[in-house]
Amino acid sequence: MSYLLLFFSALLAATVIPAQSEALLLSLMLNGQGTFWLLIAVATCGNTLGSVINWWLGRYLEHFRDKRWFPVKAATLERAQQQFQRYGWWSLLLSWLPVVGDPLTVMAGVMRMPLLPFVLIVALAKGGRYWVLGWLVTG
């Protein structure tokens, strides 16, 4: 049950819904409620899948850019596209960062980044973050 809870917490944390998957992961580790590597893998899979949802939303975001209710100004969207194009796919190594990470994963979808390299880079970044946190806490 704790693995399932961790998976969904990590998935939600990668979307616009606020969730603290790191706190749950560390709590599970400290209380011995799962093995280190399986907890890291579950959190990474959930968080990466949440980023895939962002990527998918980004793929279809521009269809609505001319609507009055569209939440991003055209100039802001264009600036973000230029930045993503300038720094490329490797900017997704920062996808684990709060505030910056989720918009990066949405922008990868807007920029039509292929799914496989997206998943590989994002999983590396997010898995690395979970591993470092777990290692710091469990030694």
CA distance to 7, 22, 49, 61, 108, per residue, from 104 (Å) = 21, 20, 15, 13, 6
Q: Which residues, 6+ apart, have CB-to-CB distance to 69 below 8 Å?
A: none
**pLDDT tens digits, residue range 33-83?**
999 999 999 999 999 999 999 999 989 887 777 777 777 777 777 887 888
pLDDT value at residue 125: 97
- Mean pLDDT, the chain, rounded, equals 90
Q: Which residues, 6+ apart, have CB-to-CB distance to 33 below 8 Å?
A: 2
Q: Tokens for 132, please give them.
A: 């470092």
User: For residue 7, with 0-12 CB atoms within 10 Å meaning exposed, 13-18 middle and 19 or more buried, which class applies?
Assistant: buried
